[in-house]
Structure formats: C-alpha cells, structure tokens
Structure 1
Amino acid sequence: MTGARGGVATGLVLWLLSGGAPAMAQADDGFDPDRDTVTVGIGGALVPRYDGADSTRFVPGGVVRGKLSGFAFSTVGTTLYVDLVREPAGALDIQFGPVAGVNLNRTTRKLGDARVSALGKRSVAVELGGYAGIGKTGVVTSAYDTLSLSVSWQHDVAGAHGSFVVSPTLSYGTPLSRTTYVGLAAAANIVGGDYARYYFGVTPAGAAASGLPAYTPGGGVKDINAKLLIGQSLSGDLRRGWSLFALGGYARLLGDFKRSPLVSVAGDANQWVGAVGVGYTF
C-alpha cells in the first residue's frame, strides 16, 4: 500500500511502521498466526516541507495496524486502509477494501520559501476510495518472506484539488531472523490534471504575488519512489512486544511536476526522507 497524500515524503515516512512485523508463523512454537493482533507505533522523520521542496522539517507521527476477526487494517501516514477479504495465515493473500485519508500538502505557510508561501495555503483534501492487491508468503528467501502488488484509487470529496490519485505499489519483505526484518517497496503516484494545477500550478495572480513564473501543468505520473525498512525486535520476537524501526526513502518528481516553478525554481525534484520509530505489538 502506498502512503498518505500529504506530499511524496510524508507517504514514505509512515510506511515505516505500517510495514511492520513479518508473518513468521511457526506451528511448533505455540504462536497462532490467525490470532487478533494490534501494533501501535510512534516515529519521527525529516521530510521535505512540501511536495517538491528543497528544505526539510521534522514530522512526528503515529500509526496503528493489525488484524481483528480476520480483517486486516493499517494506517499509512494520514490514510487508513481496511482489507475486507478474510483469509487464514499462509494462504494467497487477496486484498480488497476501502481507503480514506486526508492530504495536508501546503496547508501551512511554513514552507521554507517565501515565494511558495506567497501562493497561499491549500485546503485539506479528503480523499476516499479503495484498493486491491495480491500477496504471497514464501516466495524467495524463506517460508516467511512476502511479495505483494497492490493499487489504490482515491478521489478528493472535500473540494480542495477535486481530482484523483492512483498509486500502484510493489513490496517485498523478509525476516532475516526472529528478531530482524527487512522490507523494500517501489511505488508511483498518478494524478489528475486538477491535482497537478492545485499543488504544482502557478496562476497569473500567483505569479504576480510570488515572483515565480506562471505555469499550468497537466496530470500524469507525478513521481516514482522507493524505500528500505529495517526492523529490530527488542523483546526477542518481532511478532510481539517492542521493536525499533528505521527507514530511508527516495522519490523523484517527473514530467510537468518536475518542471513546475515550485520544484525547478524554488525546490528540488529529488525528495529524500529518513525516519526512526518504535512500536509495540499486542
């Protein structure tokens, strides 16, 4: 699953904890792989101040993920995913369910560049939609590694950008031991024209106020991104107790988004993030 739409980096940040613990279910250790479980985490990261910025800010955050009565759920940044397909552990994982989130990109004037701030704050977008995917456990390195492919679709219903975001994601995770986990993911974000103009466009009035050139982008592939997650149990087992996580992520803005004055003049098409966090699994 992809991240929240409050900027490329914000979406990467709290994949940190939502990507959480591996499914290392072993029948001989008395651990029920189908049990109810909830992981609560907190973390912090340095992320770009806005989608396309060349300066960073510290972002604290919290996430919740788990499975109750066979239904999986997770928060990724400011977005909630719920999987309505119930399957026993170890089966082919078919994923399908609703997605709800908010986009906080440029909802403050503290953007690190006076020209971008002069364009004005953006309203909070409420993005609703759904996602579908498929995953398989026991693919490459062991009986417990997982490979999954998913795609989400969301549309703003609050009248902010009033457009859509489609996000395909390919992810792979594997436990190196009962205490150490590594995850990799690659994704893209595809957006509509109204989204592009709302966050990356500069109107003639905005150009006069900011000094940036007027610009009207079109929709398309906004970015591609990749991230690496490492988890380390503090309790001797990633499936329960305390764990530490660290994440590094990179995103590259493309096409009209890279050429936007908010990026090419005031910002940077290369977006980096680093994050650390701690979680507890019940």
Structure 2
Amino acid sequence: MIEIIVTEEGIPLIFNAEDWLKLREEHRIVGSLVGCLAQTPYQDHFKGLPLALLPEEATLLRENNVARLINHASLLKSPSSDVKAEYDKYCEKICDEQIECLMEERKRQITGNLDNIVAGKQRKLMGLKTKKKKGKSKGKCDEQISTPTETTVTIDRNKVLEEELSKVKPPPKSAICVQIFTAHPWLKSEELSDVKWNFPSSPTELLRYNVFRHFWQKGYFLTSGMKYGGDFLVYPGDPFQFHAYFVVICIDKNAPLRPVDLAALGRLGTAARKSIVLAYEGNNKEINYQTLKWSPIK
C-alpha cells in the first residue's frame, strides 16, 4: 500500500518515486510536484519530488484502499546521532562508488584510444612534427606531417598502457555530488501512525469530491483548475500528452449567478479553448452539470 505523508498543515505528500509513477500510470492521479531537482536546486522551472496531492485525490486513494495517510513522529524532530552517523556512512559509500565508476570510465577511454596514443608517441620519437596550414575552406586547417628522420620506431603497447593508466588519479570527494533523499531511508515502522483525515467536512468540500470522483470514474485525468479560475481541469489522457477538455467550476445552487458572471465564464472558455462546466447539487442530491458555450447572434 502506498504511504502518503500528511504534513502538519494537512498537505498530503508522496516522497517515493516509484509510488509517484504508479499513481500516475495505474490510478490516473497527477498531483503537483513541489520539490526542487537534486542537480539544479536554484531554479523553479522544473519541479521534482515530493508530489503534493489534492485533498480529493488523497480521499479517493484512501477510499479505494490504494494508499494510507500517515505521519512519522521522527520527521517532526531533529535526527538523532545514530541517523546522522548512518547518513555520513551512506554518503561515504556513494562517493566511493562514484569514484570507482569514474576511474573505470577513464581507464576504458584510455584503452579505447590506445592506438592514437601509441601513434603520437611514435611520431614524437621519429622526429615527426604535425603542422597546421589553412585549407581551401574558410576557417579549416589541413594537417601536414614533415618527413621522418628515422625509418621506424617500436613501442611497447603494454608499457604505454601502464604509463597512461598510472596517470589516472581519483577526483576529490568534494567534487562528488551525493543524491539528496526524497524518501527517508531509515524511518522505523513502529513510528508510523495513521492520520485522522476529515476531508470532506463541509457541503462545498463534499460537492468538490463528488465531482472529482465522477470524472475520475469516467476515465479522465484531473488536476487543479486554479490557473483558470476553476476547481478542476479535466483531461482525456495524461496531461503530458493532452490538453484539458473542460474547466469544471463547482457552484452553490442557492448562490446568485449574475449575467456578468456568465459572460465572464463564456469569455474564459473561448479564450482558453475549453468548455466551461458548472457543477451543482440538484434537489435529489444528485450532481447536475451545465456547459457554457458562446453562440453567435444571428
């Protein structure tokens, strides 16, 4: 079961990358990435883990027994000396592994380029000089090799290889980048505790959740519609591949809806090239939907 960590502010978060992928591919739960990328922490154009879920998404996953809403007591306090020691040990291990990989890659490059290295040493011992002269094409140079002073020079390839490999030095550990954790690797299971989840707790929240669940059960992907002034954006497929079809706005059936509001919503749908869907609760507690669309005046 997927573990959703709920913050003190009530925000459901996913820290595990495999859980994020599973939610998106198998359960059509998109959420919103809110973390920074480990290699580029000083930009905000591309986000990384953790994944923040809408309360509707967390409630849906909980009701379908896909996820468990929890918190960790240890996340609310400073790490102990044992955890710090374990972290330092892990960083040391990661640095050693990366240095070993870098050394192996450098040795592979030298071995693959051994013919050119040997040829260069032969030219040097034979007194050959490689000069550059401008060719016919602008900006290009052709190689011109002078006449050798000796007929042939024999070089021990194995000795050259040993000399070149001996020059390979490991990089300093300060230059090695250690991946920042997105999921705490040393949390103890006995510190887990279920969160008391109260969403939906009001008629407005209940309407939002019922609308979200309705479209989700129809096979759509949903995200927050805040950037269009709505509650949800509804996609026919993954938002990475499709544009949204609908901007869904949940309204109170007893709240007044002025003509100017309808005009504004109609203009929004035309400008965004999306259908505006008004969702409200009917007299029999069922959810009714009304689509707004501009119609030309004839």
TM-score, with length taken from structure 2 = 0.22
User: What is the TM-score of this pair, normalised by structure 1?
Assistant: 0.23
Which has the larger Rg?
2
- Larger RCO: 1 or 2 (CA < 8 Å, sep 6+): 1
